[in-house]
């Protein structure tokens, strides 16, 4: 991560994203027993995508071992203008070439030395909608930079190789980048973005950045620059029951900044640098309070021993999750929508279920097999909530079951339901029941789209 500092104090509120559950601040779980009612017909995700792979930690670690060896053989670092950096580029390029990527080595000059960006394109996908994933490959001169940023570079590399192993046929065109001279002020990524014609910039639907994802005293930080990209990562970590926080330490200090400044949506992950982990953060993530997330940040001790395997594994899997969902998924096309925005209080258990009605008219025939339901519920413990869509004839379609492991607040989600046996016109209802005590909340709004 670059040394230049720019901070932003605002946070973007998460919005509903197709097929993605919002994760918000962690709430205290009820001590009452959690029960799971019988399931109604299940709802399908609103984003049709192949199942993301589990990225092998051993493979990511093997790349880090190679980067460590390269640094050791080249004066202890992989910095811009040094032999260790060029050897790092050559290593990554050889892996990608062998896996069937089209690679391009882009050169630039900084501080009197030649720098290199490595760009890799996977064949196929919509050339007018490019999902780009990247990480900086250089270290500082003080050390080998295994966490900063061998970790991000290795995670992105292994995700790219997973694309090849799966012979993925994405909806979007997939492009990967490894940047030079980031430690001198994002020089390489700035050069890349500035060299793109305006028409090419407009084709990049999103850029995902991974700078330090294996910090030894890790946090789980998510970029909040674009709501859709932010929510993708929050959804992944929610599936692991891991709370996240908005990333502020690296704002403006890594390679997403040039893309953001060019108007390109950006997102990414970060496990922390030289900021100190608080007691609250240690309580929810483990590790040691009062210590930096990475005490070896920009130091000679940033070696292969300076990695938390669990954080590296989770974050590498998150990279693949984002690529598969954002790049390979096909969103359900929108249709005619009907919405109820009136607040409906949800009684605490053992209160009865409540409903919020929507009257549908003017839609010919039956509901589609991809009837879309957007839900926005404010609640202190969403794990207690059972949510159903009730068709005009009374048939219940289960959207969400209760779960004792889902210890977070609120439900902001999109679902699709195969309601093709139902006449579209009539009164549809969102039904919500709280199955355990000590919670409060209300239906904020919901929408059905045909």
Question: Does pLDDT of 7 surpass 50?
Answer: no
Question: What is the number of other CB atoms lying within 10 angstroms of the CB of residue 194?
Answer: 12
Q: How confident is the model at residue 42 (pLDDT cuts 50, 70, 90)?
A: very low
Total H helices, total E strands in the chain: 9, 20
Task: In whole angstroms, give the CA distance from residue 383 to residue 404.
Answer: 6
- Range 141-155 average pLDDT: 98
Q: How confident is the model at residue 44 (pLDDT cuts 50, 70, 90)?
A: very low
Q: How confident is the model at residue 18 (pLDDT cuts 50, 70, 90)?
A: very low
Query: Would you state the pLDDT for residue 145?
Result: 98
> What kind and span of H or E run contains 198?
helix 198-201
Task: In whole angstroms, give the CA distance from residue 312 to residue 298.
Answer: 18
Among candidate residues 85, 46, 431, 91, the one with its CA nearest the CA of residue 235:
46
Average pLDDT score, the chain = 88
- Token readout for 17 is 């994203």
Query: Would you state the pLDDT for residue 416?
Result: 84
Task: In whole angstroms, give the CA distance from residue 373 to residue 21.
Answer: 13
Query: Would you state the pLDDT for residue 8?
Result: 28
Q: How confident is the model at residue 6 (pLDDT cuts 50, 70, 90)?
A: very low
Bond before 169 cis per omega within 30 degrees: no
Query: Would you state the pLDDT for residue 287?
Result: 98
Query: Would you state the pLDDT for residue 134?
Result: 98
Instruction: Summarize pLDDT for 189-241 with one digit per residue, the tens.
Output: 999 999 999 999 999 999 999 999 999 999 999 999 999 899 899 989 988 98
Instruction: Summarize pLDDT for 402-417 with one digit per residue, the tens.
Output: 998 888 888 888 888 8
Question: Does pLDDT of 176 surpass 70?
Answer: yes
Q: How many CA atoms lie within 13 A of 190 on its CB side?
A: 15
Question: Does pLDDT of 83 surpass 60?
Answer: yes
Task: In whole angstroms, give the CA distance from residue 138 to residue 119.
Answer: 15
SS3 246: strand
Question: What is the number of other CB atoms lying within 10 angstroms of the CB of residue 425?
Answer: 17
Q: CA torsion angle for 190, 196, 200, 204 (degrees, to 10)?
A: -10
Query: Would you state the pLDDT for residue 330?
Result: 59
- How many percent of the chain have pLDDT more than 70? 88
Buried b (16+ CB within 10 A) or exposed e, 273-289: bebebeeebbeebebee
Q: How many CA atoms lie within 13 A of 54 on its CB side?
A: 3
Residue 230 annotated as catalytic: no
Question: What is the number of other CB atoms lying within 10 angstroms of the CB of residue 145?
Answer: 35
- Token readout for 208 is 């995902």
Question: Does pLDDT of 14 surpass 60?
Answer: no
DSSP bridge partners of 359: 427
Question: Does pLDDT of 298 surpass 50?
Answer: yes
Among candidate residues 194, 82, 73, the one with its CA nearest the CA of residue 137:
82
Question: Does pLDDT of 332 surpass 60?
Answer: no
Q: What are the residues whose beta carbons fall under 8 Å from the beta carbon of 178, sequence distance 6 or more? A: 89, 92, 117, 118, 134, 135, 136, 137, 153, 156, 157
The active-site residue, picked from 158, 182, 183, 247, is 182
């Amino acid at each position: 991560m670059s040394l230049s500092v720019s901070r932003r104090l605002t946070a973007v509120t998460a919005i509903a994203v197709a097929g993605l559950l919002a994760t918000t601040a962690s709430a205290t779980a009820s001590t009452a027993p959690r029960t799971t009612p019988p399931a109604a017909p299940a709802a399908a995700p609103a984003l049709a995508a192949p199942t993301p792979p589990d990225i092998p930690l051993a493979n990511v670690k093997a790349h880090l071992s190679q980067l460590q060896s390269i640094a050791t053989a080249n004066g202890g670092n992989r910095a811009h203008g040094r032999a260790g950096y060029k050897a790092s580029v050559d290593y990554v390029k050889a892996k990608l070439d062998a896996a069937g990527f089209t690679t391009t080595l882009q050169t630039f000059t900084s501080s009197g030395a030649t720098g290199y960006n490595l760009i890799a394109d996977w064949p196929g996908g919509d050339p007018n909608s490019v999902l780009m994933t990247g990480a900086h490959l250089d270290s500082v001169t003080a050390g080998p930079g295994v966490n900063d940023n061998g970790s991000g570079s290795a995670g992105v590399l292994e995700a790219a190789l997973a694309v090849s192993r799966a012979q993925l046929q994405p909806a979007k065109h997939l492009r990967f980048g490894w940047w030079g001279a980031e430690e001198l002020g994002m020089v390489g990524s700035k050069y890349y973005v500035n060299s793109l014609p305006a028409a090419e910039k407009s084709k990049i639907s999103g850029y995902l950045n991974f700078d330090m994802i294996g910090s030894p005293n890790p946090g789980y930080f998510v970029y909040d620059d674009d709501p859709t990209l932010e929510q993708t990562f929050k959804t992944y970590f929610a599936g692991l029951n891991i709370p996240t926080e908005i990333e502020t330490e690296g704002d403006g200090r890594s390679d997403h900044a040039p893309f953001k400044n060019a108007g390109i949506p950006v997102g990414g992950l970060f496990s922390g640098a030289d900021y100190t982990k608080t007691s609250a953060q240690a309580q929810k993530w483990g590790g040691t309070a009062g210590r930096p997330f990475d005490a070896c940040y920009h130091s000679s001790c940033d070696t292969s021993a300076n990695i938390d395997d669990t954080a590296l594994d989770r974050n590498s899997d998150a990279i693949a999750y984002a690529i598969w969902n954002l790049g390979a998924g096909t969103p359900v096309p929108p249709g005619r929508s009907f919405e109820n925005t009136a607040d409906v209080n949800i009684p605490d258990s053992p209160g009865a279920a409540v409903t919020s009605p929507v009257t549908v008219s003017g839609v010919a025939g039956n509901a589609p097999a991809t009837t879309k339901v957007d839900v926005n519920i404010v609640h202190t413990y969403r794990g207690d909530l059972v949510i159903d869509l009730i068709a005009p004839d009374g048939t219940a379609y289960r959207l969400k079951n209760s779960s004792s492991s889902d210890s977070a607040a609120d439900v902001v989600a999109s679902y699709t339901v195969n309601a093709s046996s139902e006449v579209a016109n009539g009164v549809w209802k969102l039904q919500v029941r709280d199955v355990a005590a000590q919670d409060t909340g209300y239906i904020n709004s919901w929408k059905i789209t045909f």
